[in-house]
Amino acid sequence: MQKTACYIHIPFCDHKCIYCDFYSIITSDNVQSFLKCLKKEIEHYSAIYSEKRELISIYFGGGTPSLMEPDYISEIINNIRENFNVKKNAEITLETNPGTISLEKFKMFHALGVNRISIGVQSFDNDELKFLTRIHDSETAIKTVNYAMEASFENISFDLIFNLPGQTKSKWIKNLEQAVKLPIKHISAYSLILERGTILNKMVLDGKVKIADEDYDAELYETTIELLTSNGFYQYEVSNFAKPGFECTHNNAYWHYTDYFGFGTSAHSFVNGKRWWNLSSLKMYIDKIEKSGDAIAGSEIISSEKAMDEYIMLDLRSSGLNIKMLENRFGNKGIEWLKNKYSYFELLKNQDFVIKNDEIIKLTSKGYAICDEILAEIL
């Protein structure tokens, strides 16, 4: 059975934050039409690809998937199970935002098979939350995490953002200290990224908001690694930290170049060396699905050269480049690439940026801090 991940994009949201560039819409129109088309899309790809594939994860992102009623999410999960071979105890993640979900609703999601919760906390500082135009405050964020625990979720994750405008180092440390006090098993800590087309990006371009420089960003990042790793979390990807055994199966599928399906508006898929992506507009998605069963906006066949670059990049960003697996997957090309980069990796090893032996090349915490520079040099 070929292991494959599955992503479901639910576009509905109650509010658009200034930094967000994911496709989302603030309306309840077409909620049922979307569900009907989503199921049709799943059935369409099942007819083509379901044989000899096992889904190891189902991830509901958005938007705010938890705005949907539990029966709505249940209908999607059941449809996937009817059309694909889903691994027993597969990881099923549901994204949610504080202030949009109750304890009772958490319990209902747990009862229908969701076994991992990802909460969009972003900050425990009320001024920062207000700047980000989040609808919740710090108290609500903490309450939401505790609700998830009370509802019997063992695998709880949340997101935090650092290097916000005016964020001091002490303020970021308080965020992290609050995070590790909570009953969570996973933290995604991201540096603020200015995405084109967002309100925040325009504010920066207009000079209304100033972002700190790269050196300060790196300082906050190194602080993040030190504090989280000293509190029982280990870094298994550039921005992700987990308690042992609670790495995100779904995200690991992306980082280890495993095939994945993406269903719903704007979702991306990567199967058998081909990548394709869906239309973002909900109306266009529905129209296309009704006519043809798919909603493809564009696609590309990944060349062997690009595949090797992507594979190396993703492995180095996460758990490290396994030398034997590289050779098995890419043959002589992989062997030649390693020979050509030998002296550079030796230099990185001597400077404590990588751990390198006959089996693996892995970034150290110090190496993660300059990951982009290293990748730019070798790819």
Q: What is the pLDDT of residues 126-182, one digit of tens each?
A: 999 988 888 889 999 999 999 999 999 999 999 999 998 889 999 999 999 999 999
Q: 189, 155, 194, 157: which is closest to 175 by C-alpha?
A: 189
pLDDT tens-digit series, residues 306-358: 999 999 999 999 989 999 999 999 999 999 999 999 999 999 999 999 999 98
Q: What is the pLDDT of residues 203-238, one digit of tens each?
A: 777 777 787 788 898 999 999 999 999 999 999 999
Distance CA 190, CA 300 (A): 29
Query: Token pair for residue 233?
Result: 């979390």
Q: CA 275 to CA 299: how far, in whole Å?
A: 6
pLDDT score recorded for residue 18: 65
Taking the alpha carbons at both ends of the chain, their separation in whole angstroms is 32
Chain-wide mean pLDDT for the chain?
92
Note the Cα 150 to chain centre separation in Å: 25
- Cα distance between residue 121 and residue 97, in whole Å: 7
Neighbour count for residue 236 (Cβ, 10 Å): 19
Q: Say which residues have a Cβ less than 8 Å from residue 176's Cβ, sequence separation at least 6.
A: 160, 189, 223, 224, 227, 228
